[in-house]
Amino acid sequence: MLRLERRPSPSKVWSYITPLVAVVATMIAGGLLFYVLGKNPIEAIRTIFWDPLFGEFASYSRPQLLVKAGPLILIATGLALGFKAGIWNIGAEGQYIVGAICGAAVALAFYPMEAWFIFPLMIICGALGGMAWAMIPAFLKVRFGTNEILVSLMLVYVAEQLLAAMSLGLLKNPEGFGFPGSRNLQHYPSAFNAEVFAGTGMHWGVVAALIAVIMAYIMLGRHVLGFQIRLTGEAPRAAGFAGVNTARLVMICLGLSGALAGLAGMFEVAGPAGQVSIDFNVGYGFTAIIVAFLGRLNPLGILLAGLLMALTYIGGELAQLTLGLPSAAIQVFQGMLLFFLLAVDMLTNFRIRFGKKEAV
């Protein structure tokens, strides 16, 4: 008979191995799924994980890796801070949208003026917008004890409606022949989030993501705030006795993750997406939750996890083109990854023992 036995302390080795086990398990289960859909599983897996990097069209798809990974890493880093402390911001998608709207609104307000300060101002406003959106659940939790999970999620739907209202109303392109959507910021040099090195896909959002990862890593390991976050997550009562101000921590964690999600949205709208439109958001805010867990809530892990997840996006698009794999299949694939992660995570805290329990 199988039996679980708690380890005296979490296993270091297993905490590194489990994400790999989960990825392999997902590949196997995903292969089965693709087989059921009538595709050659090995070919499908190769198309998703190998071809975007080393295949025929790799020179086109490799830069896309950074474009997709940037927002995922940026959002997931912020989310991980909260998740570590047991503060569940799952409305990053909404904060991402509001950040994009705020950033784009600044640019459109100055259009067609050319000035150096427009892009920095957009960055600030994008971050503030996302932060403000995340401060709603933070404030309600601190003041009224409202569940932040439900409030932040409800605000995603509100933000989606706001996005529709903006792209049909206030921010609509006056020269757009009545089509919904704002002016294209890619044609507005002062606001365009251009690539730092041409042809690499590395735009300023990717730079921001790298900075965020480094800052978060230092903060969690070296700063007292990081200590408080970890303490609150692992032993809330002990944190209380140690004098951690929980209300402040909730505000900081939600505010930071909101600001980072807002930044991601702003860089996206000013760069790869180019304009505020009804279908601007593509679910990065939700996928980032998977990224955060895949990276074991560790900033460096998130960096790798973000790249891997970006790979599944690009590989998924490629598989859609070459194999006719439905786009929803990739969504299922990503969902499965989170399942396997959570399932094998047990191995870090528990040992599996065979046989009956001996008498004490």
Q: Which of residues 2-21 bind other proteins (CB under 8 A)?
A: 4-6
Segment contacting other proteins by CB under 8 A, of 58-66, 74-82, 248-256, 286-294: 286-294
Q: How far is the CB of 179 from other proteins (least distance, A)?
A: 17
Q: Which of residues 121-160 bind other proteins (CB under 8 A)?
A: 140, 144-147, 149-151, 153-158
Segment contacting other proteins by CB under 8 A, of 63-71, 74-82, 125-133, 346-354: 346-354
Selected binder of other proteins within 161, 194, 222, 279 (CB under 8 A): 161
Phi, psi for 278 (deg, rounded to 5): -60, -40
| Residue closer to other proteins, measured from CB, 89 or 193 | 89
Q: Give the total of residues touching other proteins (CB under 8 A).
A: 49
Distance CA 305, CA 296 (A): 9
Q: How far is the CB of 274 from other proteins (least distance, A)?
A: 22
Q: How many residues does the chain have?
A: 360
* Phi-psi region at 198: left, alpha or beta (left = phi > 0; alpha = psi -120 to 50): beta
Single out the residue of 335, 307, 283 nearest to residue 92, CA to CA.
Answer: 283
Q: How far is the CB of 250 from other proteins (least distance, A)?
A: 14
Distance CA 274, CA 282 (A): 14
| Residue closer to other proteins, measured from CB, 208 or 325 | 325
Selected binder of other proteins within 286, 302, 318, 323 (CB under 8 A): 286
| Residue closer to other proteins, measured from CB, 154 or 214 | 154
Interaxial angle between packed helices 204-222 and 224-234, expressed in degrees from 0 to 180 and rounded to the nearest 10: 70
Distance CA 16, CA 11 (A): 9
Selected binder of other proteins within 106, 138, 336, 348 (CB under 8 A): 336
242 part of the interface to other proteins, by CB under 8 A: no
Distance CA 94, CA 79 (A): 13
Tokens (6 digits) for 209: 């993501």
Q: How far is the CB of 333 from other proteins (least distance, A)?
A: 8
Tokens (6 digits) for 167: 């792209």
Give start and end residues of each alpha helix (H) in 37-91. 41-49, 51-54, 58-84
Distance CA 321, CA 300 (A): 32
| Residue closer to other proteins, measured from CB, 144 or 354 | 144
Name the residues that contact other proteins, by CB under 8 A.
4-6, 88, 90, 140, 144-147, 149-151, 153-158, 161-162, 164-165, 168-169, 286, 289-290, 293, 326-336, 338-339, 342-346, 349-350
